[in-house]
Structure 1
Amino acid sequence: MGHILVAGSVNVDRLWRLDAPLRGGARLTYHSATLRCGGGGFTTGAALLALGHAVTIVATLADDGLGRACFDRLATLGFDLSGVRFAGGRTTPLDIFIDPSGERTVLAPRTTEARRLVHLPRLPAELVYVNVRRMEPAVLAGLAPGTRRVAQVPLEPGEQRPADVLIGAVPDGGIDLGGIDIGRIDLGGDAFAQARRIAGPSLATLVLTDGARPVQLFDSAGRSSVEVAAVTAADTTGAGDVFAAGYIDALLREEPAAEAARHASAVAARFLTDRDAFWSQAPLEPNT
């Protein structure tokens, strides 16, 4: 198994389980509200650990009770924590509203979305995975030769991600399957050429998930699609991050893109069916 360096968020998620779908102007009720460790870096990294890989996580935590509780949860799961740093201030949870169908809406504080990744530790990792909103392109461009690079499609206009594989989700990236460019990539045009303007000439594959619809793959040969595993879930939070872990797992075993997407879909389906099979989802209790 491989050693993967994961740069991404480690958050405290406050989950609100709603009794009806979220809609503007409504007065809604909820039946539970819990705190748990979450974030794209945490979820992908924890799934990679569950798949048998070694993971070093690069993240920033607030130096308070919730931040220390997250740190302890990371340690318990087996993360290498040499890339974690503590900052001043207090942890502000992300509010995640989950409706009865399992769909989620995320409300994030502006302060957490404003961070910029400027450094990665020099470690002998086989692969680096980056899922941050903002970063300096040189962080990935300056890695040791031969280090594979996988990154999420950036949400911010003008952001660059020098990478071999870009992974994104159609709703998250403002990507329109009908061909209207409302965000980063217009699938009605040459999506792979557009992705290369984000990732550079080393890009081999653009991978786009779209919920229960087929995964779309783009490379120099064109476009293809892969059916996803069907599953009904009470909570879809983190499914895309676990898909990324499954794709990386297959990539490290030299699987071609289509097989990697099938494997990633199966891994995400297993996670949605039984989240505790991957790691404990026990509520987070602040350290005192």
Structure 2
Amino acid sequence: MAAVVVVGSANVDQVFRVDRIPEPGETVLSTGFANARGGKGQNQAVAAARAGASTAFIAAIGDDGFGRLTAEGLAEDGIDSSRLRTLDGPTGTALIAVDPRGENTIIVEAGANGRLAPLDEADRSVIAAASVLVMQLEIPLETVAEAAAAARAGGTTALLNAAPIAELPDALLANLDVLVVNEHEAAHLRSSSGAAELTELVPTVVVTLGAEGAELHRRGGDVVRVPAPRVTAVDATGAGDTFCGAFAAALAEGAEAGDAVRFAVTAASLSVQEHGAVPSIPHRAAIDAALAE
């Protein structure tokens, strides 16, 4: 039985290192290139597993070389991929440009991710047996809603990272326990009264603030601000996903929400010091050592 189950996307990232992100109509030359596993779902599953949680991944890959690379990588990270579908067609792919400051632009082709629907009884059983369900929005919204409903029925804590941002149906929001968003996503979802307004929809809301850390908002509670360690960032790709996976792993261990945010901020701060999405995700020993400092 997995402590954390992730329902989401699996991509292979094609990462170009550039001196600057090109403007519209501009061509720039790459200073380096690599293929690496990615996709918000896969990143978050890897982050949860490396943070110490027994992790299962419900996803779809294509019947191609990128799909085989994904499946092999999940096995290397000890992730239960028994609910991984292999579909005709391509695996999801992301085209990423990263500049020397660690800033990036990303274009995503959904591939098999767009056909991760519907969930079946075995999927729902895996979700119901877990402590925490983690979801994002790179798969069909109806699949996300199905997973959240299965979590609610099974008493599993349902966490949604609302990225890439989309309009969220009331029925989905009603089945969430935790919402994780960055500042831009929070601004899209709320009106004038700030992130606290979102707790009227979801009991716990975490707003990630990049290099500034994160804020924890709980319905009826005070705001908890967790600063990030000062580090030299080389690549921000996957930092938000590292946060979500590590946060879920801490919650699954029974950590109080504020402590879980602190654990996740530390994990994310380690990830930005390395290149790539999955390659940069830290293991538990490194997170514990950074926390001890």
TM-score by length of 2: 0.81
Selected match of 2:181 from 164, 168, 188: 168
1:54-93 matches, cutoff 5 A: 54-91=54-91, 93=93
1:104-153 deviation line (CA, Å, top 9, x unaligned) = 11111265674565323412212111123433324312334431111112
* 2: CA distance, partners of 1:225 / 1:75: 36
Query: What is the root-mean-square deviation of aligned Cα atoms in Å?
Result: 2.5
Aligned residue for 1:231, secondary structure, equals: coil
Residue type of the alignment partner of 1:255: A
Greater CA deviation, 94-103 or 115-124? Answer: 115-124
1:97/1:106 contact within 8 Å kept:
yes
Q: Which runs of 5+ in 2 are unaligned?
A: 275-279, 285-293
* 1: CA distance, partners of 2:113 / 2:80: 24
Greater CA deviation, 221-230 or 188-197? Answer: 188-197
Q: Decide whether aligned partners of structure 1 residues 114 and 82 sit closer, same or farther in structure 2, where only a CA change above 3 A counts.
A: closer
1:17/1:98 contact within 8 Å kept:
yes
1:237-282 deviation line (CA, Å, top 9, x unaligned) = 1111111122122222333332221111111122333537549xxx
1:7/1:132 contact within 8 Å kept:
no
1:191-246 deviation line (CA, Å, top 9, x unaligned) = 3444543xxxxx33100112112412222225342211222121111111111122
* 2: CA distance, partners of 1:2 / 1:72: 19
Aligned residue for 1:81, secondary structure, equals: coil
1:205-244 matches, cutoff 5 A: 205-220=204-219, 221-244=221-244
Q: Decide whether aligned partners of structure 1 residues 51 and 191 sit closer, same or farther in structure 2, where only a CA change above 3 A counts.
A: closer
Partner of 1:191: 195
* 2: CA distance, partners of 1:208 / 1:113: 26
* 2: CA distance, partners of 1:2 / 1:74: 14
1:271/1:278 contact within 8 Å kept:
no
Residue type of the alignment partner of 2:210: G
TM-score by length of 1: 0.82
1:22/1:99 contact within 8 Å kept:
no
* 1: CA distance, partners of 2:154 / 2:137: 22
1:45-194 matches, cutoff 5 A: 45-91=45-91, 93-109=93-109, 114-115=114-115, 117-119=117-119, 120-123=123-126, 124-133=129-138, 134-136=140-142, 137-143=145-151, 144-153=153-162, 155-159=165-169, 160-161=172-173, 162-171=175-184, 173=185, 175-176=186-187, 183-186=188-191, 188-189=192-193, 191-194=195-198
2:57/2:83 contact within 8 Å kept:
yes
Name the structure where helix makes up a greater proportion of residues: 2
Deviation for aligned residue 1:91: 3.2
1:243/1:267 contact within 8 Å kept:
yes
Q: Decide whether aligned partners of structure 1 residues 145 and 109 sit closer, same or farther in structure 2, where only a CA change above 3 A counts.
A: closer
Q: Decide whether aligned partners of structure 1 residues 132 and 261 sit closer, same or farther in structure 2, where only a CA change above 3 A counts.
A: same
Q: Decide whether aligned partners of structure 1 residues 30 and 66 sit closer, same or farther in structure 2, where only a CA change above 3 A counts.
A: same
Q: Decide whether aligned partners of structure 1 residues 236 and 121 sit closer, same or farther in structure 2, where only a CA change above 3 A counts.
A: same
1:2/1:252 contact within 8 Å kept:
no
Identical-residue share of aligned pairs (%) = 26
1:38 aligns with 2:50: no
Q: Decide whether aligned partners of structure 1 residues 125 and 240 sit closer, same or farther in structure 2, where only a CA change above 3 A counts.
A: same
Q: Which runs of 5+ in 1 are unaligned?
A: 177-182, 198-202, 280-288
* 1: CA distance, partners of 2:281 / 2:5: 24
